[in-house]
Amino acid sequence: MENTLVVRKAHMDDVKSMHGLLLQCAQKGLLLPRALIHLYGHVRNFMVTENAEGEIVGCCALAPVWEDLAEICSLVVREDVRRLGAGRELVHACLAECQSLHIKKVFALTYQEAFFDRLGFKVVDKSVLPQKIWADCVHCAKYPNCDETAVYFELDSAAQEAGETHVQG
């Protein structure tokens, strides 16, 4: 990533910018919109990408789902700074968060299969994510005809025990 883009944990001050980025993508049908109250309540799950001017140009959340499973969601990078590595850095920050939480398995539901493939995620059948289906998917208007692809990444347990970041791709 260019040195001018920095990934860090989100602050309350970032939420309105995160909301704007997510809304733009949601209007294109690329991800689910998030209400401000959801973003304020879940701000501790979020990472943001900040540019040299202090603007928030990307965000991503790591949402724990079960004892050993978390979801990467609300991932967006502003269009003018795409393909510079910001998305990869956001996902890597979430994987580092998995390590500190001792979570070994992470997934995303996405239309961006090629992006996640570059990061070492594998496509899986949604049936291997029963906690996600029963907690969230059944309440979604698209259920049971979801057209998103489930992608999955398993962190290396040896690296996790050593406290190292070990990310493929």
Ligand X SMILES: CC(C)(COP(=O)(O)OP(=O)(O)OC[C@H]1O[C@@H](n2cnc3c(N)ncnc32)[C@H](O)[C@@H]1OP(=O)(O)O)[C@@H](O)C(=O)NCCC(=O)NCCS
Query: Which parts of this chain interact with ligand X (CB under 6 A)?
Result: 25, 30-31, 75-77, 82-88, 108, 110-112, 114-115, 118
Please state the closest distance from residue 92 (CB atom) to ligand X, in A: 9
> Which amino acid is it at 120?
G
Structure tokens, 5: 């883009």
Please state the closest distance from residue 94 (CB atom) to ligand X, in A: 11
- Residue of minimal Cβ distance to ligand X: 87
Shorter beta-carbon distance to ligand X: residue 38 or 82 = 82
Shorter beta-carbon distance to ligand X: residue 56 or 108 = 108
Please state the closest distance from residue 139 (CB atom) to ligand X, in A: 18
Residues 6+ apart with CB under 8 A from 153: 95, 105, 106, 107, 116, 119, 120, 121, 122, 168
